[in-house]
């Protein structure tokens, strides 16, 4: 079940406002160029920011997300993208050159659903296709920076973030939004922090090999960006 921050229609409409400029996406566009990808699957595409950029570059793009409210925002942005309501485990037959997962997508899978997602991505890639995604480094201890409550007001909507629990490898937090009409909507989220070895071993177990691990340009030192290749 997607968090309300993605699945509630009122929150989906303001998601891009609070998410801000996507400085992380240029890296993915560059990797798509490097591997010569003409077709891309964006897993957890959300409101479609990366998928739209990929389509604008002339690529064939499929975006999949389980949060229908976010997907409706994405659909309104670009009709060239094939938008699918679902996840990587329920895709139609695909053979793409590249699969991507940006933001916190890789960390929302808390248990066996991670390996199931890897197998779904594997099945959607051509042999030799690439899979690129980011995940926060546990040793950077991002939750310590999140521990201080934060408040922002954008477009008349107030956002308040607070930590709920740190029980590693799981970290839970809450975003609460207050709208001008007085309505409040709270969205609880949990992320799983996986070590480099845990991620690499899961990729190998699901038919990939790690070909590179990069630093995220927008959060240097805080994230791994894995570049994996389908090998079986």
Structural domains for the chain: 4-137+195-230 (3.40.50.150), 140-191 (2.20.25)
pLDDT exceeds cutoff 80 at 9: yes
Please write the tens of the pLDDT for every residue from 97-136.
Answer: 999 999 999 999 999 999 999 999 999 999 999 999 999 9
Closest CA to 207 of 175, 225, 180, 232: 232
CA distance 87 to 1: 11
49 within 8 A of 22, measured Cβ to Cβ: yes
Q: Given this model, what pLDDT does residue 122 score?
A: 98
Q: How far, CA to CA in Å, does 225 sit from each of 69, 186, 219?
A: 27, 30, 11
DSSP-derived 3-state class of residue 1: coil
Report the alpha-carbon distance of residue 103 to residue 116 in Å, rounded.
Answer: 19
Question: Do residues 66 and 87 make contact, with C-beta atoms less than 8 angstroms apart?
Answer: yes
Region of 207 on the Ramachandran plot (φ > 0 left; ψ -120 to 50 alpha; else beta): left
List of residues 6+ apart from 9 with CB closer than 8 A: 69, 72
pLDDT tens, residue by residue, 52-97: 999 999 999 999 999 999 999 999 999 999 999 999 999 999 999 9
- Tokens, residue 101: 């997962």
Residue 39: pLDDT above 90?
A: yes
Task: Give me Rg for the CA atoms of the chain.
Answer: 17
What pLDDT sits at residue 217?
A: 84
Angle at 196 between CA 89 and CA 133, to 5 degrees: 45
pLDDT at position 232 is 80
**In this predicted model, what pLDDT tens digit does every residue of 141-194 receive, in sequence order?**
999 999 888 899 999 999 999 999 999 999 999 999 999 999 999 999 999 999
pLDDT at residue 220, rounded to an integer: 87
Confidence of residue 1 (pLDDT cuts 50, 70, 90): confident
What's the pLDDT score for residue 219?
Answer: 84
The predicted structure's pLDDT at residue 149: 85
The reported pLDDT for the residue numbered 211 is 97
Residues 6+ apart with CB under 8 A from 186: 4, 174, 175, 176, 177
In this structure, the number of other CB atoms found within 10 A of the CB of residue 232 comes to 9
Only one residue has tokens 């389980």, namely 66
Query: What pLDDT does residue 21 have?
Result: 83
């Amino acid at each position: 079940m997607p968090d309300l921050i993605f699945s509630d229609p009122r929150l989906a409409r303001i998601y891009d406002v609070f998410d801000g400029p996507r400085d992380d996406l240029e890296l993915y566009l560059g990797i798509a160029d490097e591997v010569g990808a003409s077709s891309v699957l964006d897993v957890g595409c959300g409101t479609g920011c990366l998928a739209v950029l990929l389509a604008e570059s002339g690529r064939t793009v499929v975006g999949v997300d389980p949060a229908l409210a976010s997907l409706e925002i994405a659909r309104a942005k670009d009709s060239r993208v094939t938008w699918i309501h679902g996840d990587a485990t329920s895709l139609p037959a695909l053979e793409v050159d590249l699969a991507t997962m940006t933001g916190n997508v890789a960390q929302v899978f808390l248990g066996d659903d991670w390996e199931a997602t890897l197998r779904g991505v594997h099945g959607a890639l051509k042999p030799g296709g690439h899979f690129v995604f980011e995940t926060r480094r546990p040793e950077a201890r991002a939750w310590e920076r999140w521990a201080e409550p934060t408040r922002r007001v954008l477009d008349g909507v107030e956002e308040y973030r607070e930590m709920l629990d740190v029980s590693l490898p799981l970290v839970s937090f809450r975003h609460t939004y207050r709208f001008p009409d007085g309505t409040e909507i709270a969205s609880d989220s949990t992320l799983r922090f996986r070590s480099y070895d845990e991620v690499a071993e899961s990729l190998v177990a699901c038919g990939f090999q790690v070909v590179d691990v990069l630093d995220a340009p927008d959060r240097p030192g805080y994230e791994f960006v894995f570049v994996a290749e389908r090998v079986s």
